[in-house]
Amino acid sequence: MATLQQSALGCMLLEVQALSPIEFVMREFEHPAVRAGLLFFNGLREVDLRQKGFGHSIPALLASLFALNLNLRKPPRYTAAEKHPELSQAFMMILGLDDEAQFHDPVFTLAARRVRIEWLVML
- Give residue-wise pLDDT tens across range 37-62: 888 888 777 888 888 998 888 888 77
Question: Is 12 contained in some domain?
Answer: yes
The answer to whether residue 79 sits within a structural domain is no
Confidence of residue 22 (pLDDT cuts 50, 70, 90): very high
From its phi and psi, is residue 96 left (phi > 0), alpha (psi between -120 and 50) or beta?
Answer: left
Determine, yes or no, domain membership for 59: yes
> What CA–CA distance (Å, rounded) separates 82 from 38?
27
Residue 109 maps to a domain: yes
Residue 103 is predicted with a pLDDT of 61
Structural domain span for residue 17: 4-66+97-114
CB half-sphere exposure, 42, CA atoms < 13 A: 29
Rounded alpha-carbon distances, angstroms, from residue 55 to 13, 26, 38, 86, 94:
9, 11, 12, 32, 22
Q: Can you give the pLDDT at residue 104?
A: 60
C-alpha span between 55 and 57 (Å, rounded): 5
Residues, the chain? 123
Q: Provide the mean pLDDT of the chain.
A: 72
Domain assignment present for residue 120? The answer is no
Q: Does some domain include residue 122?
A: no
Domain count, the chain: 1
Q: At 8, is the pLDDT very low, low, confident or very high (cuts 50, 70, 90)?
A: confident
pLDDT at residue 116 greater than cutoff 80: no
**Which of helix, strand or coil describes residue 86?**
helix
